[in-house]
A = this chain, B = another copy of it.
Amino acid sequence: MPLSKLIGPGSPEEPPSGKRERRKEARPGELLDAALDLFVEKGFAATRAEEVAARAGVSKGTLFLYFPSKEELFKAVVRENISGRFKEWNEEFETFEGSAADMVRYCMKVWWERIGATRASGITKLMISEARNFPELAAFYQQEAIRPGTQLIRRILQRGMDSGEFRQLDLDYAVFSIVAPMIFLIMMKHSLGPCAPQDYPLDPERYVQSQCETLLIGLCVRPDGGS
């Protein structure tokens, strides 16, 4: 099965009472949603404010009612979609019961499910594409998303090394063994993938699993020995 939309077009959970009120309260979110899609698809510069507004179902003027400028809209899109879930995730891993290898498996699987397969993955594409145009934002992203993620992975690897599961690794480089395949998958999903569908009929789950297994063999002291 080829890879496809595991995502859904936005979850309108819990609509408030009145119609107007709901829309009013939902406006910023709808705009951010629309903006995320368009920024990911066309980049910041090539996305027109009017198009964002249109896709959100409001007028151009309304957009500027909620965001003082296109640039602020962009920043809001990024900030909104980084949402520090790392505390939560950290706890998840603190209480994780299982081997370090399972943690790596779980980490990559969850990364795909919660980030890669969702609209949130657009942020990764966006930041990597636009980093040079938004250095402050890139720094913010680095600090809020990448650093915590890196720390999480380092802890996992450290744990594996401590427990004797993994061989001695240079963590500064080893983290990228997990990061690179995930980032690559996400970038492809949003750039060349849609342009050359025949060349990327990848099943993301199988991709993740495949990368994961090869990686684990590479990390473990005795890949198939142990037990």
Residues of A whose CB lies within 8 Å of any CB of B are: 41-46, 127-133, 135, 138-139, 141-142, 146-147, 169-170, 172-174, 176-177, 179-181, 183-185, 187, 190-192, 194-196, 199, 202, 206-207, 210-211, 213-219, 222-224
Given contact pairs A173-B207, A218-B215, A223-B218, A128 touches B187 in the complex (Cβ within 8 A): yes
Q: B139, B190, B210, B216: which contacts A173 (Cβ < 8 A)? A: B210
Is chain A's interface secondary structure helix, strand, loop, or mixed overall? helix
Residues of chain B within 8 A of A194, CB atoms compared: 131-132
Chain B residues with CB under 8 Å of A185's CB are: 180
Known: A44-B46, A174-B210. 19 other contacts (CB 8 A): A42-B132, A43-B44, A43-B45, A43-B129, A43-B130, A45-B45, A128-B187, A131-B194, A132-B191, A132-B194, A138-B191, A141-B192, A142-B199, A146-B199, A177-B210, A177-B214, A180-B211, A214-B218, A214-B219
Contacts of A202 in B (CB 8 A): 172-173
- Asked if A127 meets B43 with Cβ closer than 8 Å, knowing A184-B183, A219-B214, the reply is no
B216 x A132 contact (CB < 8 A): no
B170 to A210, Cβ gap below 8 A?
Answer: yes
Q: How far is the CA of A4 from the CA of B74 in the complex (A)?
A: 31
Q: For the complex, give the distance between the alpha carbons of A222 and B132 in Å.
A: 43
